[in-house]
Amino acid sequence: MIRALAISVALACAMASLVGCSRQGNTVDMTPLPTIASPPFICDHIPLKAVELATGVQAPLTQGSFDLSAADGYGDGWCGAYQTSGDRKKVLEVVLVASGTPGHVEEEVNQGAKRLPAIISGAEGFYSKKENEQASAVAVLIRDKAMLVVDVRQGADGRDHEADAAALMKLIAPKLITDKSAPTPSPKDTKGT
């Protein structure tokens, strides 16, 4: 009886190691996201290669557009990237709205989010894992009323989803945050000239 149990356990271990070996071929592409936005783009502004790396979905289905002249010049729009099979789950969403409030960044940082590095003049932002969700992260950048959100809803297995959300923000924010939201230079002191 003990011998039969030992053989069963040995066979189970052997099968488990074979399954483990067969999965080694599915390696994660750990290539960093591009640092320069180059074509092809989805929704006219988001580099396809960055989306594929961050989500693990090759040639995702996409929907949406941006109108950078809308909302009094602050821009407005969204873009979604979806799986190409099964239930076609949304894996990435990028949203641009004219409803940013600078205090929002401080609230999130105080609750544990990480501050984004400087990306564009006068903007501040944060990035973090999404609570209670695996393989997802969000990055938000606000300048004046313009708010850009990068929501990695389903990141590629094994990648740093927070880093990908922040890198994607750094890549697309200069294209989507318009000059309308740029800080106005303060008047120079002309006394004594």
What is the domain partition of the chain in residue ranges? 41-174
- Pick the closest to residue 129 from 101, 108, 102, 100 (CA basis): 108
Whose tokens are 């979604």? That residue is 80
Q: CA-to-CA distance for 124 and 141, rounded, in angstroms?
A: 6
* 94's tokens: 């990028």
* 121's tokens: 């003049």
Provide the pairing of β-strand 90-97 with 76-82. antiparallel
Could you tell me the strand order of the sheet in which 61-67 lies?
61-67, 76-82, 90-97, 146-152, 137-143, 124-129, 114-115
171-193 per-position pLDDT tens digit: 999 999 988 777 765 555 444 44
111-141 per-position pLDDT tens digit: 999 999 999 999 999 999 987 777 899 999 9
DSSP H helices in the chain: 2-23, 48-55, 103-110, 161-176
First to last CA, the chain: 102
In CATH, the number for domain 41-174 is 3.40.1000
Range in 30-39, 96-105, 127-136 with the lowest mean pLDDT = 127-136
Read off the DSSP letter of residue 7.
Answer: H
